[in-house]
Structure formats: structure tokens, C-alpha cells
Structure 1
Amino acid sequence: MIVWQKPNAFKILFTLRGSVIPHIYPQILFITLLSALISAVQHWIPSSFSSYSTAPFTLLGIALSLFLGFRNNASYQRWWEGRGLWGQLVFDARSLTRQVLSFINEETETGRHTQQCMIHLTIAFTHALRHRLRNTSPWQDVDRFVEPEHHISMRQARNLPEYLLRLMGKKLGYSRRQQLSSDLMIQNMDERLTSMTVVLAACERIQNTPLPFAYTLLVHRTTYLYCFMLPFSLSSSLGWATPLVCGVIAYTFFGLDALSEEMTDPFGVAANHLPLTALSRTIEINLLEALGENDLPPDIIPKNGCLQ
């Protein structure tokens, strides 16, 4: 995620970090060159292209803008929902840790071990969820927080975060049987696990449910057709200014299309995706500090204005 403050007027024109230009410059270049070619033909061979009214393109441009705006709103809603879910996870992890440390009896070795296991499993769940959403290998981050006796069964689990939630549920059941906490507090802690399960299911829903393909295809086709036909309409009236105007319009429409496509899946590693690594590290630091550990990992800091 880009964390730069608003750049000045000069940087706005030339900043590429976080911009969609690297993804759409071939389309912009093609439309600009096509416009230049059409302008040259119209200049050297007048009346090569009939003077069409720009009214149809104005109406089509308005309709295309509405389509792109709706699609961008839908994509941003998915991005913001994903951020809200990870904010809920931060809340649940901290609340569960506070309850575990406050209401599980720590006067016995069993109680202290249960507290540590519950907090470590919460950290492991956070890392496992991030890796599941990004389709990356989780073992380097997860193994150190899970007891070795569970490593084999953990690797056989098809849904690692859900497996870790089951382990945490078993720990709560064990705490109840050993009378390490009251039934009421066990129930309250189980509600935090239920909330974490909701976060997992909602994140999977966002990741596994793309925007309708037919709608995406319609926007793609209309954008390309509009930008391809526009120079033929403008060349007779704008002359050599046609490439500049068409290039700016192509940048706007192709840029909106590419940005909405990028934000459809908010859990990736692109510049405009959510900083899941930083959020996971924040949870890890907070929970280890609450557990009383001093060897804490460093905070994730932005690199070139981008927070992963």
C-alpha cells in the first residue's frame, strides 16, 4: 500500500510508484501513435476521413465513464471491506490475548503453558491467513508458533487457518476441563474465536468471488473500441492536437480499468494492495509484548513509499 503523503504538483506528473502507467503504457502508446498516423493522413490528404459529429462519442464516453465508475466503486468496496476485516482481526487478537492473560489461571505451570500456546496460535493464525490469501508458503512464519507435535497434521490440513482455529478451540476445551478459567470467560474467549472464523470466511469470500466476468468483458471491449475509434472523429477538427487529446483520454479510461482490476483482489502484493505483512507483524509484536517477551521482531517499514 502506498503511504506517501500527497505529492507536490511536479511529483504528481512524474511519480510512477503506485501508478498504473507501467501496466497501461502499451495501450496509451498504441492509441497515441494511431492518432498521430490518422492526423498525418488527414493533414497530407485532406478529407481522407469524413468530419463526423462528436456527439455519439460524447454520449458513449459518458456511458463508459459511468460503467468504469461503477466498477471502480465495486472494486474499492472489496478493498475497504478487506481492510475492515483485518482491522477486526487486530481487535480480536488483542482482545483474546487480554482475556487469556487475565482470566486463565497462571499460578500453575499448566495455566502458563496454556496462555503461551493460545497467544502463539493466534499469531500463527494471523500469518497463516495472510499466506493463504496470497497463495504463498506459510511454514517459515507458522512453524515457530505451533508445538512440534502438531507439525505433521498441520501440513496435512487443506485449510491451515481453520486448522489453527480448531487447535485453539481444543485449548479452550482443555482449559475448561482443567478448570483454568470460569465457564463464562471460556464462552467469551470462544466468541473471539468465532469472530476470527468470520474474518477468515469473509476474506475467502472476497478472494474466491471475482466481479462478474461478463461485466468486466463489456467494460474492456467498450474501452478499447472507444479509444480506437476516437481519433477518426477528432482528426479533422483538432489536427495535430489529436494525438495529445486521445492519449490523455486513453490514459484516463485505461487507467481506471487497470486500477479497478488491481483492487478487485485486495490481498496481493501490488503497490495498491493491503499491507498484510505489516498488519501481521503488528499483531505479532503486540501479542509477544503482552506475553512478556523482549526479543521482538522489528516493525515493517515502508520501502520507497510502499508498505507491504
Structure 2
Amino acid sequence: MTTFPMGPALLFCPGDRPERFGKAAERADAVILDLEDAVAPRDKEAARKNLIAAELDPERTIVRVNPLGTEDFELDLAALAQTPYRTVMLAKTEDGPAVARALAGFTVVALLETALGVVRAAEIASTENVAALMWGAEDLLASLGGESSRHQDGTYRSVAVQARSTVLLAAGAFGKGAIDSIYGNIPDTEGLEVEARDAVASGFAAKACIHPGQVAAVRAAYAPDPADVTYAEQVLAEARHHGGVFNFRGQMIDGPLLKQAEQTLRRAQG
């Protein structure tokens, strides 16, 4: 898993609800102050003023800004200049070089939620100031003319699975973090935890939440089982006595399995 300095539970908070900022920051590993989809057009200016007035930890705060090329993006950037926040999530990212130019001086989480953005995932991941990629399921399906990213049983449609994998692979190829999309069924924390367990097992560094009640499920999914931690400690200790492949409890242990054990310990410490 490629790490991202914030996570594993990232919580969106609407920019026009300043009374929620502090609570969101307390409950999650990082808060995403949203100036884009969560805020109605008529309330965006108020949201920017709230952003300027907010007193949050810049190391645990991400600001989602509107897409490049829009007037709202320019206004968001002007507001950010009056704050200490330097990690931004760029909505509907589609152009790596444009990100480098427009957001020089910022650490960027590139949100890939259109067909073009997903197709260009590798180019965007290679952009120097992009620290992580996130994918967005529903906006992606809307950009394709679709109606829903999921089947009735809650599982993703094949096109969403492909997009999720594409974004994860692109992030990993360039040593960037990958953030898994939100789980929209808020009461279904069991389903969320199952999906989050798949995310951590696949290599996603974090998962986004849209409700404080989802944070515990994501954290539980990312916390390794104590038995797995013990096994990882023991197999890494045994590896010190071997120069290459070795047998441990009936299993052949090689480099990739040792890396997985190291990742388990990083999650336990994180």
C-alpha cells in the first residue's frame, strides 16, 4: 500500500456548515471541507468566508475546490490564499499539466470522477504536486450517461470496478496514495466495513466518509487483527535469519509476503 499522510478515515464536511467543522475534525483522521458539490451555488461565497475563518489543523485538513476552468475555482483559490490550508482536493481532475500550473504550491488530491479523468489517471498521477488520487463513482457514471454505479445488492457495476482499479494502479505506479470512494448507504455500516476491508486489502491508503457515523467502520477495517500483527512480527523476525526464500509454518515466505507483513505493522502503528 502506498501511504498518504492523512487517513484512513477522511470525512467530508459542507463548507456552508461551519458549526460542523470542529466536530468533523475531532471525529475523523482528516476533514475535507467541501466547496463544491455539497454547497449550493447561492451558498458558495458564504462557504469561502467560513473557510477563511476556520481554525483547523492544516496538517489534517483538505479543501475540496471546484473544477479547473470555472469561475468558482478562481474564487476558491483566492479564498485559500487567505488561509494556512495547502492540501486541496481538485474536483473532476482531467489534466495533469494544468494541475501543476494552476495549483503550484499546493499538495493535490486529484479527484477522478469523469471518464476522461479516469482514462488519464496515469498522467495525472505522474504530476509532481499530486500526492494522491481519489475516484468518484456517481459522477463518473453520470459522465457516461449512466444511472447508478451499483447493482441493487450494493456491489459495483463492472465499469465502476474498472475505474476503481485503474485509479489504484495509476496511484501505485507513481508512488502516490489512493483514496477509495464514498459509501452512500449511510445506515449500512456493515456493508461499508466490508467494502473498506477490501479497500485496505487492495492497497487504498484511505477511504472517504460522508457521515461521522461511518468513521468507526472505516477505522475498524483498517486496523489489523491482533493475530495478524503477531504473525507479521514473528515472520519478520524469522526473516533476519535467512538470506532468501524460507519456510515458515508450512508456508513459503518470499519478498512480497515480507512487504505485506511490513505493511500490516505500519497499519498497526498508524
TM > 0.5 fold call: no
The structure whose Rg is larger is 1
| Higher strand proportion | 2
Tell me which interval the TM-score lies in, with the shorter structure as reference length. under 0.3
Give the TM-score, by structure 2 length. 0.21
Structure 1 length-normalised TM: 0.19
